[in-house]
Amino acid sequence: MKNTAIAVDNAFFSYPDGHEVLQGISCSIKPGEKVALIGPNGAGKSTFMSLLNGVSLPTSGAIHIAGMPVIKENLIRIRRKVGIVFQDPDDQLFCPTAFDDVAFGPLNLGLPKDEIELRVKEALTTVGLEGFEERSSFHLSFGERKRLALASVLSYQPDILVFDEPSTNMDPLNRRRLIEWLQQSDKTILLCTHDLDIALEVCSRCLVLSEGSFKEDGSAKDILHDRKLLEHYNLELPLALMTHELLTEKLRTGQMDEEHRQIIASFLHAHRHSHGAEGHEHVHIHFHDHEHEHLHEEVADQHFHDPKGAHHDHSHESEFIQHSHDESTTHTHDHHSHEASHKHGSKK
């Protein structure tokens, strides 16, 4: 039990009106693990999240956070450990200024003034809102409020971060920043989301919650690639994979003529790669609305990859056609080889 961040043992939860939302769920999440929690609407995801920091207590069963049972006596300590980032930032930003919102958690911990000011500064810097201390949250844009809500949780330094639909209503740039931040974070992360693309990019493990219990628990790659399984739970393949699948199908059946292939290949990549030592791997897509040959490396890749440690497989040809692909053959990411293999792929 000591070595788990979150341990849920046969937890039930029902509302006072008798409606049973969670029917005996169990799972165990290791420190530093990044887990996606997916499932249809009404599956009990929100209830599950509120059990994790004791905002609701299970009707029966036990929950341990870092070895500590979630019971009334421990609530204060539990809530320091588990930070929940809510879906609607307006629910979480209830203070008049950004500073007050970010300082709210540390103030309740009774930290000294200097420490609080330092933490607020750090948290705001982390989310890219330096100098926003005096701003009122109601004068910020939605993306900024979403980041501020994250900062208001980071400031009390929880080890476990739980996100409820972190990417909803976010513009692509803010979403991309969030994904990058999640990827490099060393905290235990639980992402509850319908955005399976973000789950695919960030998480290594995936839990499927449906009708009040965990129906699937496995590697994110396996579950999120399984179209039949996802559709069974009213979900669909991540967009990245759908596009990939569609292209594969079109190329295989020869429905796509040369012109189409040229156009698509000129602004779209789907390739597998691994991120440095983490061995993180997924399929992703780059969209370019500009000349690809010169800009790809500078613009897109500096955002999306670790430029030093990334190993990429650039056989686009096989990538387009074959669904499963041998990951072990990797090439260093080199501008020329990338361009060359890309052209190769489009000529096929």
Across the beta sheet with 34-38, the strand order is 82-85, 160-164, 188-192, 34-38, 205-210, 213-219
Of the candidates 254, 244, 200, the one whose C-alpha atom is nearest the C-alpha of residue 224 is: 200
Cα-Cα-Cα-Cα dihedral of 175, 219, 163, 29, to 10°? -150
Is the CB of 73 or the CB of 134 nearer to other proteins? 134
Tell me whether residue 88 or residue 180 sits nearer to other proteins (CB atom). 88
Nearer to other proteins, 50 or 183 (CB): 50
Q: How far is the CB of 136 from other proteins (least distance, A)?
A: 7
In the complex, which residues of this chain contact other proteins (CB under 8 A)?
16-20, 23, 50, 53, 55, 76, 79-80, 82-84, 86, 88, 90-97, 99-100, 103-105, 107-109, 113, 116-117, 134, 136-139, 152-153, 156, 211-212, 215-216, 229, 232
Residue whose token pair is 């000529």 = 347
For other proteins, the closer of residues 95 and 310 by Cβ is 95
Cα 63 to Cα 74, 96, 114: the distances in Å are: 12, 35, 35
> What's the min distance (Å) between Cβ of 149 and other proteins?
9
CA distance 42 to 47: 9
DSSP codes, 95-139: SSSHHHHHHHHHHHHT--HHHHHHHHHHHHHHTT-TT-TTS-GGG
> What is the closest distance, in whole angstroms, from the C-beta atom of residue 312 to other proteins in the complex?
34
> At closest approach, how far in Å is the CB of 156 from other proteins?
7
| Nearest distance, CB of residue 243 and other proteins, angstroms | 25
* Residues linked to residue 14 through DSSP beta bridges, in sequence order: 20
- Taking the least distance from each CB to other proteins, the nearer of 161 and 200 is 161
DSSP assigned state of 41: T
Query: Which is nearer to other proteins, 20 or 334 (by Cβ)?
Result: 20
CB of 142 vs other proteins, minimal distance in Å: 11
Backbone angles phi, psi at 74, to 5 degrees: -95, 0
Contacts of 211 (CB under 8 A, 6+ apart): 23, 43, 44
CB 54, min distance to other proteins, A? 8
Q: Which is nearer to other proteins, 80 or 343 (CB)?
A: 80
